[in-house]
Chain A
C-alpha cells in the first residue's frame, strides 16, 4: 500500500470542539457522559452530547442545515479554523478538482426528519424547511462539506453502521493511490437521534450508567455524537509526520447485530491491515479498541485481540469518555489514535473498574506515557458484521 500523509486532523466530541479538549480528557481520563439531554427518553441512559454551541450554516447553504452539518461545520472552524485552512492550502497546492471528500455516517440528518414527522403528526404537513435530499440523504453532509469548502473532486458517503468512517479513511487512501485525487477529506459525522437511542434500547444494548468498556460488569453502550475529520494527502505538506500505512476490511458472515463469538472477522481485518503495512503484530505499540461496552462486542474483540497480539500489546477503549459516536466512531477514534501517537501516550479505558477476567490482553486502565510509540492501530466494527482496522505511524514507514 502507498502510505499517505495525515496532514491535519480534528474532532468535535462531547469533550468539546477541537483536539485540545479531547486530548485533555484522554490524559485526565475524564468522562463526558451524562444523562441524556437533547432527547429525554422514558428510560435511563447516558450520552456524550456536543453541548458547546454549534455554528450556523451560512445562508447560501442553509437548506443543508442539520445537527450533523453543524457539527461538521464546528469541526472545520474550531481552534482557529485550522482544519479549514489546511483544506484551503491543499486546494491551493493541488487544485480544487484534485481534492475529494468521503464522509462516514450511520444516520445522516435523520434527527431533522424525526422532528419533521412529529410536526406532520401534529399539523398534517411536513415543515417547509424539510429538505430530504440535502438533509436526510446519506451523502448530505459530504455534499455540504464539498460546497462549504469548494472542493472539486468526487464526494460520497459510506454507511456501514459503526465502521462507516473507518472505511472512509481507507477509501480515501485508495483515491490517492490510484491517482484520482491528491488530497481527500475523510471523516465521520453522526448526531444523537431518536432512531439510534430507541433502537439500541430495543436491542437491550444501552447502559443505564456511563458505559464501562471491557469491565467485568459492563452492561451496554452509551451513545455519543460528534465529528472526526482527517486530511489525507499524497505529499507531506505540513509539520505533521503522521501517516496512514495500512488498513484491513472484512465481514463476519455471522449475524446482523451480534459479532462473531471468536472475533474471527475482526481478527481478519487486523491481519489484513498488518499485511498491508508489512508489519508483524509486535510492531504495533498501541491498539485503540472498538470496545463499545456490550457483553458480546467486547468479548468478541478481545478474543480476536488475544489471537492477534497475545498479552503484550497495550490496548484500550475510549468510549467511556466520548460515548459511542456510531458512524463517526472510526474517524473520532482515528483522531484519538493520532493524538496518542503525536503526544506519545496511550489512553486508559475510562470507566473501567475491574478488567473482565476472561480478557488476557494488556488492557490499559490508566493513561500511560509511550514516548517511543511509532505504530498504532484503531479498530471499528459495525452491524452486518462489518469490520475495519487502520494502522497509523509517526515518522517514516520503511519496512
Chain B
C-alpha cells in the first residue's frame, strides 16, 4: 500500500521532569516550565499535567498559533497515576473524607481540562489512552479528526513515573511531546508531513520497548522529524502489532 503525505507538522515541543532526562535525549532546556499553567495550579497539579502543559505550550509557540485556536487531543497510557496511587492509599487506610481536589484531579482529562480552561478555548478536548499504543492511536485519532471536522489540532502525549506498587520494575520518566498538526501536505517552508498511521504485525519490532512509555515513541518521531529523515518511522513500542507512519521531508 502506498501511503501519501496527509498530516502536516506545523510545530513541535517537548518537556522533561528532570534535567538529566532532557540531556539524555539531547533536549536541554526542555523543562516543565509553562507560562500557561496558572500559578494557583502549579502547586497542586501533577508531573503529568505539568509536562503536558509545557510541551503543548512549546508546540503552539513553534507553530506560531494561539493555543486557544486549537482543538486538542491529550493522550497518556496512565494519566494521573500518582494521584490515583494516593487516593487508593487513602481509601485503603480509610482516610475519609478524601480530598475533593485530589478526586477531581484524578480524572484522565485533568491535563486537557486544565488546558482548555487555562487557554480559554471552547474547542473540543479529547483525552484518550491505549497503553503502549497511546501515541500511535492518538495520531490516528488526530488524522481522523483532521480528515472530517478539524483543520488544525494540538496533540499532546505525556506520562509521569508510575508508582512501583502499581507497575513494578518500570523505569518510565516524566516527559511529554506535543505536535501541532494540520490536514494535507506541508506547505512552503521546508516543514514535514506524515502519512496516516498504520499497523503491521511483526514478530519482533526494530525497537522493542514493549513495556516502555509511549512517549518514547513520540520522541523517536520528533528526532526523525528534526533530523530530516524520510520514510518509515516506528511510532509504537509494542512487540507484536507495531504502528508506523511514513515521514516526508520537503526542503523549502
Residues of A at under 8 Å CB distance from B? 1, 41-42, 106, 110, 113-114, 117-118, 120-121, 126, 132-133, 136-139, 142-143, 154-161, 167, 171, 174-175, 177-178, 180, 194-195, 198-203, 249-257, 264-265, 268, 276, 382-386
Contacts and interface: CB of A to CB of B under 8 A. Distances in A.
Interface in B68-108: 77-79, 84, 87-89, 91-93, 96-100, 103-108
Given A158-B128, A159-B129, A384-B109, A252 B122 contact: yes
B185 interface: no
A382 B122 CA distance: 14
A199 B98 contact: yes
B131 A251 contact: no
18 contacts: A42-B96, A117-B89, A157-B130, A158-B129, A159-B109, A177-B144, A199-B104, A202-B97, A202-B103, A250-B123, A251-B116, A251-B121, A252-B116, A252-B117, A253-B119, A383-B107, A386-B125, A386-B127
Interface stretch (B135-143, B173-181, B220-228): B135-143
Contacts of A254: 117
Contact of B122 (A110, A202, A203, A250): A250
A178 B148 CA distance: 7
Nearest to A195: B87
B124 interface: yes
B110 interface: yes
Q: 5 closest Cβ contacts across the A-B interface?
A: A384-B113, A199-B103, A159-B108, A138-B129, A249-B124
Interface residues of B, number: 59
Contacts of A177: 144, 147-148
B92 A118 contact: yes
Nearest to A42: B96
Interface in B205-238: 211
A386 B113 contact: yes
Contact of A157 (B89, B112, B128): B128
A256 B92 contact: no
Given A117-B92, A121-B93, A198-B96, 15 more contacts: A110-B88, A117-B91, A120-B92, A132-B167, A136-B166, A138-B77, A138-B128, A139-B134, A159-B108, A159-B129, A161-B108, A256-B105, A256-B117, A385-B116, A386-B127
Contacts of B211: 133
Interface of B: 77-79, 84, 87-89, 91-93, 96-100, 103-110, 112-114, 116-117, 119-131, 133-134, 137, 140-141, 143-145, 147-149, 162, 165-167, 196, 199, 211
B140 A180 contact: yes
Contact of B199 (A1, A154, A384): A154
A113 B93 contact: no
A180 B144 contact: yes
A1 B130 CA distance: 26
A1 B125 CA distance: 19
Contacts of B119: 253
Contacts of A384: 107, 109-110, 112-114, 116-117, 125, 127
Tell me the interface secondary structure of chain A in the complex. Answer: mixed
A265 B117 CA distance: 12
Contacts of A265: 122
Contacts of A137: 77-78, 129, 131
A70 to B, nearest CB: 20
- Which of A1, A161, A177 has most chain B Cβ within 10 Å? A161
A109 to B, nearest CB: 11
A1 B116 contact: no
A179 B26 CA distance: 38
A158 B126 contact: yes
B5 to A, nearest CB: 16
A183 B139 CA distance: 20
A286 B14 CA distance: 46
A128 B105 CA distance: 29
Contact of B112 (A160, A174, A255): A160
A110 B106 CA distance: 11
B144 A113 contact: no
Nearest to A138: B129
Given A121-B92, A384-B116, A160 B97 contact: no
A251 B123 contact: yes
Nearest to A137: B131
A203 B131 contact: no
A120 B164 CA distance: 13
Contacts of A42: 96
A203 to B, nearest CB: 5
Contacts of B116: 251-253, 384-385
B113 A133 contact: no
Contacts of A143: 131
Contacts of A132: 162, 166-167
A2 to B, nearest CB: 8
A203 B100 contact: yes
Given A110-B88, A137-B129, A120 B97 contact: no
A382 B191 CA distance: 37
A383 B107 CA distance: 8
Contact of A117 (B77, B88, B147): B88
Contacts of B79: 138, 159
Contacts of B78: 137-138
